[in-house]
Amino acid sequence: MAKILVTGGCGYIGSHTLVDLIDNGFEVVSADNHYNSAPSVLDGIEEITQKRVKNYTINLCDLEATRQIFIDHPDIVGVIHFAALKAVGESVEKPLLYFQNNLGSLLNVLACMKEFEVKNLIFSSSCSAYGNADELPVTEETPFKEAESPYARTKQMGEYILQDFAKKYTDFNCISLRYFNPAGAHESAIIGESPTNNASNLVPVITGTAIGNRKSFTVFGTDYETRDGSCIRDYIHVMDLANAHTKAMEFVVNGKNEKNSEVFNLGIGAGVSVLEAINAFEKVNDLKLNYELGPRRAGDVIAIYANYTKAAKLLDWQPKRNIDDIMRTAWEWEKVRNVVV
Ligand code: WQD
């Protein structure tokens, strides 16, 4: 079985990807310092897969600690690099922290892959790299506009680093995956999104309000040039996103790629507005949400959704879930997460 190192493996997308990799016959090892994740996620992954994933609780900005993983596991054939700080608002307040952490960890992973001849890298990029795109849906050829935050900038810079690395080292494969809006939880409700107390993404804000952890929430802007005045996004179920990582790793490990540097959009091509997302939650779960309509949030793009034809064609990937599945599984997980034992 091919062994894959998953950095950030205890995080939201990382943990769901570990499950999908194991389900598809890969051997895995994780590196996660639990800055934004809990060790208990490994128990959940074991309950779902019956496999105990080894996690190195290290900071990937520590080169020697990162090298130790590759020394201990000479049979690693690929790396999926999730580990990064990802709070857009925080990145505006602490740009140096974001550049040091997100770029420093990527550069250490690349240095180790070069030293230990690990030839396949899947990089966690983001639709935020597009900025306020001129055309919709965005394709992989849509040019980057100005990054709206240092977080988005680290994703743009990360992709450029990989392009130059792949240009020099033509026997290494570098794949960047641009996520749209990940949401939802594993069907078992054993793992899911465990945001810190001040969750800012829409779906955990909705489920946090429904469970009573917050009294209400605000819809940030209903005066946009969209069909109902609220912002439009492309919400992708985290299990569909996880499977795209497995497909991308299979693509390069099995030598199916013609070019050694590729980028893929990972969205489902369905634009959903904030008000439509709220209605979906209320309908699927037969609940009324407490929210008010408020002013716009700085930094929000009006609308963005993906053309994912390239991933469908080259990776043989198809999303299987929609906004209703997101709202159903997110709510099931929120209820489990809040059970007081
Ligand atoms: C979605 C919509 C808000 C909260 C972020 C990152 C992006 C990616 C996905 C990593 C917006 C509205 C939200 C609330 C609201 N992450 N909203 N009330 O900003 O689209 O993208 O997560 O790759 O990089 O930027 O996600 O969930 O914060 O917002 O009205 O309380 O919901 O204004 O229109 P966003 P989000």
Domain CATH for 81: 3.40.50.720
**Which are the catalytic amino acids?**
151
Q: Is residue 58 part of a domain?
A: yes
How many structural domains is the chain composed of? Answer: 1
Rounded to whole angstroms, the Cα distance separating 158 from 83 reads 12
3-state DSSP assignment of residue 123: strand
Mean of the per-residue pLDDT values of the chain: 96
Task: Report CA(4)–ligand 1 centroid distance (Å).
Answer: 30
User: Does ligand 1 have an atom closer than 6 angstroms to the CB of 201?
Assistant: yes
Rounded to whole angstroms, the Cα distance separating 205 from 216 reads 9
Question: What's the domain range around 121?
Answer: 3-183+236-268
Interval 267-307: pLDDT, tens: 999 899 999 999 999 999 999 999 999 999 987 889 999 99
Task: Report CA(276)–ligand 1 centroid distance (Å).
Answer: 14
**Residue 22, φ and ψ in degrees, nearest 5:** -65, -45
Q: Whose CA is nearest to atom 22 of ligand 1?
A: 181
Decide: residue 282, CB within 10 A, 0-12 exposed, 13-18 middle, 19+ buried: middle
End-to-end distance of the chain based on CA atoms, in angstroms?
A: 38
Q: Is residue 38 part of a domain?
A: yes
Q: Is residue 79 part of a domain?
A: yes
Q: Is residue 126 part of a domain?
A: yes
Q: Is residue 189 part of a domain?
A: no
Q: Which atom of ligand 1 is nearest to the CA of 126?
A: 23
Q: Is residue 334 part of a domain?
A: no
Q: Is residue 114 part of a domain?
A: yes
Interval 78-129: pLDDT, tens: 999 999 999 888 899 999 999 999 999 999 999 999 999 999 999 999 999 9
User: Does ligand 1 have an atom closer than 6 angstroms to the CB of 233?
Assistant: yes
Tell me the mean pLDDT in the region 24-41.
96
State the pLDDT at residue 197: 62
How many Cα atoms are found within 13 Å in the side-chain-facing hemisphere of 82? 27
What is the residue whose two structure tokens read 């900025």?
131
How many Cα atoms are found within 13 Å in the side-chain-facing hemisphere of 124? 27
Structure tokens at 226: 């969209």
The predicted model scores a pTM of 0.97
- Ligand 1 pocket test, pick from 86, 220, 275, 289 with the greatest ligand atom count within 8 Å of Cβ, gives 220
Structure tokens at 240: 């569909």
User: Does ligand 1 have an atom closer than 6 angstroms to the CB of 88?
Assistant: yes
Q: Which atom of ligand 1 is nearest to the CA of 151?
A: 24
State the pLDDT at residue 20: 98
CA dihedral 132, 138, 141, 142 (to 10 degrees): -20
Q: Is residue 193 part of a domain?
A: no
